[in-house]
Amino acid sequence: MSDPARAGRFDIADIVRAHRHELEEEQRLTRSQKRVLTDIAQCRTATLGGHLDRCLDCGYEHPSYNSCRNRHCPKCQALAQEQWICARRQRMLDVRHFHVVFTLPAELRPLAAFAPRVVFAALFEAAQRTLLEFGRRRLGATLGATLVLHTWTRALQFHPHVHAIVTAGGLSDNGTRWCPVSRRFLFPVRPMSHVFRGKMMTALGKAYRRRAFVGFDAFRDPLGFELLMGRVAKLSWNVYAKAPFKKGRHVLDYLGRYTHRVGIANSRLLAVTETAVTFRTKGPGTETISPVTFLRRFVQHVLPDGLHKIRHVGLYASPARGQLARTFLPTRTPTAAARSWREQLRLLTGRDVATCPRCGAPLVSVPLPDARAPPGAAA
């Protein structure tokens, strides 16, 4: 087994380049999955072009290749995360927040894999309506929440769930005061899970009646849908709520890790050979699988084109209501001015891309040719 301290030497892009053809021999990929694998394989390579950083004082030269900017690429999320945090900072209310997780039961995962756009939309709808309904019923107020869809476990298995970062209170329905929740918990999780289950089943029922699941094997039986709904109705659906966060930037930093996380980061790869990939799972755990199995698990988590994995609801979906709520909260310290992408990159990597690492003189950028293959060939 490889030493975990040596993690970070491996790149998912190398696995894609070496074993994608084997995956496609065994499995038919969607257009979205093909595009993701192509982008990951080309990311930060000469294929996408870039520029040459050149120091006129000491002669130092270093090529910097363009990123693919695909939301599924493990190398393109750090800067995007920081930029997203900066953009959301002005709208985040300076109050305590709870972390709530809504999980799709295992019995519904095959349906989600068959019709991800439909089932994920239902999952979002059920989660946000549950939160807003509890806010109205128990507080007479509108909460603020940011919801993020994840589809994986630490072992890259298919496990759809929604993370919600929720304000510990809300703006009263008449817009005249802030209504806080208990300091210990948001709402009782058992009643929340019952409401979530009902709303999810209602949303799936609507989708079934509009024939959104035509072709799903289990529904070839005319009673298939009713039988599935009967089974999931008897389950205790999992809704998890974590203790509140303190006010301030900590909430945004924590949320940012969820909004831009992909199924697996390069840093979790411990060993990669022609026949095996070993990666960290939960805690000290590891798993070793074949490269093709690794890619098969990875592409499960490619979202359909145009599906938004981040959604804002309540006070976070309405700038006007959010601003009104802010008038009833203690004045917070003004946020720092937005940083340029160069400053953000320097804070993330410790490197100033505008100066020579040898002598500290300014660098001059010279464009490199773009060698990107035509879209038809790349896909």
337, part of any domain: no
Cβ atoms of 127 and 148 within 8 Å: the answer is: no
Q: What is the mean pLDDT of residues 45-49?
A: 89
Candidate from 94-103, 255-264, 287-296 with smallest mean pLDDT: 255-264
pTM (predicted TM-score) = 0.86
Contact 179, 172 (CB under 8 A): yes
Predicted confidence band of residue 254 (pLDDT cuts 50, 70, 90) = confident
Question: If pLDDT is split at 50, 70 and 90, which confidence band does 40 have?
Answer: very high
Q: Are 354 and 365 in contact (CB under 8 A)?
A: no
Residues 56 and 114 in one domain: no
**At 248, is the pLDDT very low, low, confident or very high (cuts 50, 70, 90)?**
low
pLDDT band at 376 (very low <50, low <70, confident <90, very high): very low
Higher pLDDT, 239 or 5: 239
Q: How far is CA 73 from CA 87, 200, 301, in A?
A: 21, 30, 11
Confidence category of residue 328, pLDDT binned at 50, 70, 90: very high
Neighbours of 313 (CB within 10 A): 21
Q: Which residue has the higher pLDDT, 202 or 184?
A: 202
Residue 5 has pLDDT above 70, yes or no: no
Range name among 44-53, 255-264, 328-337 with the lowest pLDDT average = 328-337
Residue 333 lies in a domain: no
Do 291 and 142 have their domain in common? no
How would residue 144 be classed by pLDDT, with cut points 50, 70 and 90?
very high
Q: Nearest CA to 378 among 117, 112, 47?
A: 47
Per-residue model confidence (pLDDT) at position 337: 53
Taking the C-alpha atoms of residue 271 and residue 286, their distance in angstroms, rounded to an integer, is: 11
pLDDT of residue 338: 55
Residue 27 and residue 149 in one domain: no
Q: How confident is the model at residue 342 (pLDDT cuts 50, 70, 90)?
A: low
Query: Has residue 339 been placed in a domain?
Result: no
**What percent of the chain is modeled with pLDDT above 70?**
88
Which pLDDT score, from 0 to 100, does residue 250 have? 73
pLDDT > 90: percent of the chain: 67
271 and 253 within one domain: no
Question: For residue 136, what pLDDT is reported?
Answer: 97
Residue-wise pLDDT for 263-293, tens only, equals: 999 999 999 999 999 999 999 999 999 999 9
The C-alpha angle 264, 98, 134, rounded to 5 degrees, equals 120
Residue 343, SS3 per DSSP: helix
Q: pLDDT value at position 39?
A: 97
Is residue 113 domain-shared with residue 136, that is, in the same domain?
yes
Q: Is the pLDDT of residue 373 over 50?
A: no
Q: What DSSP string describes 127-157? A: HHHHHHHHHHHHHSEE-EEEEEEEEE-TT--
Looking at the fold, whether 3 and 145 belong to one and the same domain comes out as: no
Using pLDDT thresholds of 50, 70 and 90, give the confidence band for residue 4: very low
Number of domains, the chain: 2
Residue 165 lies in a domain: yes
**Residues 292, 318 share a domain:** no
Let me know if residue 239 belongs to a domain.
yes
The residue whose two tokens read 């999780």 is 189
Any domain includes 296: yes
Question: How would residue 369 be classed by pLDDT, with cut points 50, 70 and 90?
Answer: low
Domain membership flag for residue 332: no
Residue 108 and residue 187 in one domain: yes
Asked if residue 125 and residue 171 are part of one domain, the reply reads yes
pLDDT band at 3 (very low <50, low <70, confident <90, very high): very low
Q: Are residues 269 and 375 in the same domain?
A: yes
Is position 71 within any domain?
yes
Task: Supply the range of the domain harboring residue 286.
Answer: 1-76+265-300+356-379
Give 270: exposed, middle or buried? Use CB within 10 Å, 0-12, 13-18, 19+.
buried
What's the confidence (pLDDT) of residue 7? Answer: 43
Q: Has residue 1 got a pLDDT over 50? A: no
- Whether residue 192 contacts residue 166, with contact meaning beta carbons closer than 8 Å, is answered with no
Does residue 206 surpass a pLDDT of 50? yes
309, pLDDT greater than 70: yes
For 290-307, the pLDDT digits (tens) are 999 999 999 999 999 999
The enclosing H or E element of 209 equals: helix 189-209
The answer to whether the CB of 140 falls within 8 A of the CB of 148 is no
Same domain, 279 and 235: no
- Cβ–Cβ < 8 Å for 316, 91: yes
Average confidence (pLDDT) over 135-152? 96
Q: Is 18 within 8 Å of 34 (Cβ atoms)?
A: no
Contact 112, 302 (CB under 8 A): no
Q: Are residues 61 and 142 in the same domain?
A: no
Alpha-helix residue ranges (DSSP H) falling in 238-364: 249-259, 291-299, 319-326, 341-349
